[in-house]
Amino acid sequence: MTISPDNPSPKIRPWHWDRAAVVYVRQSTPQQVLDHRESTARQYALADRAVALGWPRSQVQVIDDDLGKSGQSIEGRPGFQRLLAEVALDRVGLILGLEMSRLARSCKDWHHLLELCARFRVLLADADGLYDPIDYSDRLVLGLTGMMNEAELHILKQRMHQGKLNKARRGELIVSVPAGYIKSPAGSVELDPDEQARGVIRLIFDQFDRQGTVHGVLRYLIANGVRVPVRSPGGPARGQLDWRRPCRETIRHILRHPLYAGAYRYGYRPTDPRRPTAGAPKRVRGSGRAAEDCQVFLKDRFPAYITWDRFEANQARLAANRSRADAAGAVRGGPALLAGVVWCGRCGKRMYARYGGTGRRPSYVCSTLRSDYGLPLCQSTTAAEVEEWVAGQVLEALRPAALDASLSAASEVEEQRRQVTRHWEQRVERARHEADRAARQYHACEPENRLVARTLERRWDEALQAVRQLEDEFDRFRRSQPRALGDADRASIRRLAEEIPSVWRAPTTTPADRRQVVRLLIDRVVLVVDPGDDRVAVRVEWAGGAVREHESRRAVSGYRRQRDWPRLSGRLTTLHRDGKTPKEMAVALNGDGFRPPRRAGRFTPEMVRRLLDELGLRPRVPRNPASDVALVPGGRWLHEMARALELSPHTLHGWRTKGWLHARQVGGRGGPWAVWADTAELDRLRALKECPRLWTHRQQLAKLRVPGPRQG
């Protein structure tokens, strides 16, 4: 086919003219759309070239949905997606673009378009020529063009990134600043000129030193009505100071940002290109990198609120507050004094505090192996006995510095009160200023211009109401605060400081307060529980490096597991042989220092009677002596079976109520209990006694708890 005015190119066939010619218009950024208008006009002018190539103007379509959109991905480009759909529907004969890079900057998207154009015989045209994707030479040129477009995009991005990184290395790349700072028109970072804003930021850091946790600071700010200063980053109120209710994330951001220590960082939070969103890589989850690990880190670049050493101490404290295996965690509620600092001396894992329920004493349990591998508990012990000795050691260590600490605490309380009172005074002063400004605006208005005067009058009334409301809240706050300390109060504090145990046990001293004191003095407490008796080896590692060891006693499940059981049984035998009554025996045991296994109390006559029953020194006599004839072959009395199994009769009564024993009451209500057990039944009961009460053994326990068929 020859070239003629009616057919300007031999590549154009009649079926091309039967379909539409599409002009694709795109600019990469909104700024280019506004500033580079000639480029946009040249792209729209491609419609005239389509007419020159033989297409009627009615068949020329312009797709300009992607103005201001980057061509590096098909996502977020509805115009390009519409173009692909039109080609796949066989409605397009020619695609025109000022440059092929306008169509796609990605080889994946570019070759996808080429494959569709070749399949449906669609031509492509730019300012340099006309291309047929079916032709080998044109396909080769188009493929090289796509590679050059993607390489050009990479070069542009690298050039921009290196320029950005070079500015960051000088510490001048500042997009936004946190609360308490402003960015001047010259680009420098300065402290917020508002005195109240600076005071609130300093108050947050001071309270974190006292409270130790982000949530503690949050509770303090909310309880005292303190608002956090925030300057709007954009919109009509850009740069204006706004006072908002404090939230946990805002306080955490302030405590973690190194700018408050005068440092500059860049590359704090890396990006993950696997999860793109709207043309930009999505930030990875997590709390970001440490300041020293950032791509750019410069100290002493900006005015600071705190020193760098104080900032590092805050980061260490925040890390220690996290609930992890290698950290003690934040001080929480609960009566366990050593929670967070107790470690297992057997496996080296952290032991956790366990609260069995209301009224039950806490205990320390090493359950890591059971949680991770389903193994039995490594060890456990009740907390009271260990805590009693550790608390005594802590009080002994506190005694020399008690007076200084008490007076320092009183001074800190007065300083906190002064800071909060100053914050309220500044809030009232700001509200009065707003009311005065509203009054000046109202008085400056022309009286006859009622349309404006009514609006200004309403604003003035609202400002006056805000002042009255704030003054009432400030008055209620001052009345709720305790009075200032006088000379008599300070003298009382000095006297009280000499009685540290009284302060330690006072109802006003919370478990969290005691636990905080323990963590300041002790690094860890290592426990080794003797599984054979009630001994617990306690090793206290103090913060200064000193180590102190002690052997304590714990609550166990029975008298026979006590270390003093041989002495206790021998003493009971001697007292019984001397004809002492159970009451006299209880007094003697308490005087000798013996203690029950499950409680920190003292022996009672009832406990002595039960012990005599277990030792066989006071055998239970049946109410009807002739009832021995009621015992079937293989039968025994319940207390005799308890001695044979080395268990308490109360344990066997519990098994009886659960249906785990073959037992019957002889002589009616109130009579003795007879238990049937042959050799096989005795073996089952012994296995039931030895089987651990764990969820991993529940199937084995289920088999052992079912009594066999009764014989005889």
Alpha helices (H) in 399-529, listed in sequence order: 402-444, 450-480, 487-497, 500-505, 511-521
Q: Which of 96, 198, 200, 107 is nearest to 153 (CA)?
A: 107
Say which of 4, 9, 28, 39 is annotated catalytic.
28
Distances (CA, A) of 182 to 179, 233, 606: 8, 10, 76
Return left, alpha or beta for 286; rule: phi > 0 is left, psi -120 to 50 is alpha, else beta: left
Report the distance separating Cα 356 and Cα 383, nearest Å.
12
Report whether 335 contacts 360 (CB < 8 A).
no
Q: What order do you get walking across the sheet with 60-67 strand by strand? A: 60-67, 20-27, 92-96, 123-125, 130-131
The token pair that represents 549 in the structure block: 């060891």
Alpha helices (H) in 18-77, listed in sequence order: 30-35, 37-44, 46-52
Maximum Cα–Cα distance across the chain: 137
The token pair that represents 213 in the structure block: 């946790």
Report whether 337 contacts 514 (CB < 8 A).
yes
Q: Which of 254, 264, 174 is nearest to 182 (CA)?
A: 174
Count CB neighbours of 572 within 10 A. Answer: 23
Q: Calculate Rg over the CA atoms of the chain.
A: 42
Q: Which of 63, 69, 79 is nearest to 23 (CA)?
A: 63
The token pair that represents 77 in the structure block: 């480009």
Q: Which of 522, 504, 525 is nearest to 386 (CA)?
A: 525
Q: Which of 646, 687, 640, 688 is nearest to 663 (CA)?
A: 640
Burial class (CB in 10 A: 0-12, 13-18, 19+), 135: middle
Report the distance separating Cα 434 and Cα 466, nearest Å.
9
Report the distance separating Cα 357 and Cα 71, nearest Å.
63
Report the distance separating Cα 179 and Cα 569, nearest Å.
72
Report the distance separating Cα 219 and Cα 199, nearest Å.
18
- 28 catalytic, yes or no? yes
Active site residues: 28
